[in-house]
C-alpha cells in the first residue's frame, strides 16, 4: 500500500485517486467526511469527469435543472436557503454584480420588467412614501 499523503516544503499534499499525482490539499474539492475534509480526486480530474459525463448524457443538464426548478417551486425551506445564499453572495461581491449588470443590460431590463409585473403595488407604496416626505419639507 502506498502512502497517499505527504508533506512537501511544509505543505500537506494528497495523491489524486485518478491522475495519481501529489497535489496540495487546496487542489481538492471539499467533502466533510473525506480525510482532511477533501475529496479523493483533484478539482481538475473531477471537472474532466463531469464534462465527459455531460458529453455522454446530453439530457442530463436539463433533467437536473428541471429537478432543481421543481424543488425550488415546491419546497419553501429550499427556496429560503437559495435566496439567503444568493443574498450573501451579492453582499460580499457588489462590484461583480454591478459589472455584470453593465455587461448584460438587456437581461437586466427584462428582469426588472418581469419583477414589476409580479409586484404591481410595490412602486405605488414607494411613491406614496416619497410624496409624503416631499410634502413635509
Quote the CA–CA distance of 99 and 53 in Å, as a whole number.
Answer: 33
What would the pLDDT profile of 3-27 be if each residue is shown by its tens digit? Answer: 687 888 888 899 999 999 999 999 9
SS3 93: coil
**Cell triple for 132:** 409624503
Quote the CA–CA distance of 95 and 97 in Å, as a whole number.
Answer: 5
pTM higher than the cut 0.75: no
What would the pLDDT profile of 60-81 be if each residue is shown by its tens digit? Answer: 889 989 999 999 889 999 989 9
Quote the CA–CA distance of 51 and 128 in Å, as a whole number.
Answer: 52
**Cell triple for 126:** 414607494
**Cell triple for 124:** 405605488
Residue with cell string 466533510: 32
Amino acid at each position: 500500500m502506498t502512502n497517499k499523503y505527504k508533506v512537501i516544503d511544509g505543505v500537506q499534499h494528497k495523491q489524486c485517486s485518478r491522475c495519481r499525482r501529489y497535489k496540495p490539499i487546496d487542489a481538492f474539492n471539499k467533502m466533510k467526511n473525506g480525510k482532511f475534509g477533501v475529496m479523493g480526486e483533484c478539482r481538475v480530474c473531477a471537472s474532466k469527469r463531469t464534462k465527459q459525463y455531460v458529453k455522454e448524457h446530453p439530457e442530463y443538464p436539463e433533467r437536473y435543472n428541471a429537478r432543481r426548478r421543481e424543488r425550488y417551486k415546491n419546497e419553501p425551506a429550499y427556496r429560503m436557503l437559495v435566496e439567503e445564499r444568493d443574498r450573501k453572495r451579492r453582499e460580499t461581491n457588489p462590484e461583480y454584480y454591478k459589472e455584470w449588470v453593465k455587461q448584460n443590460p438587456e437581461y437586466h431590463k427584462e428582469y426588472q420588467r418581469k419583477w414589476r409585473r409580479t409586484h404591481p403595488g410595490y412602486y405605488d407604496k414607494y411613491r406614496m412614501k416619497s410624496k409624503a416626505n416631499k410634502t413635509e419639507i
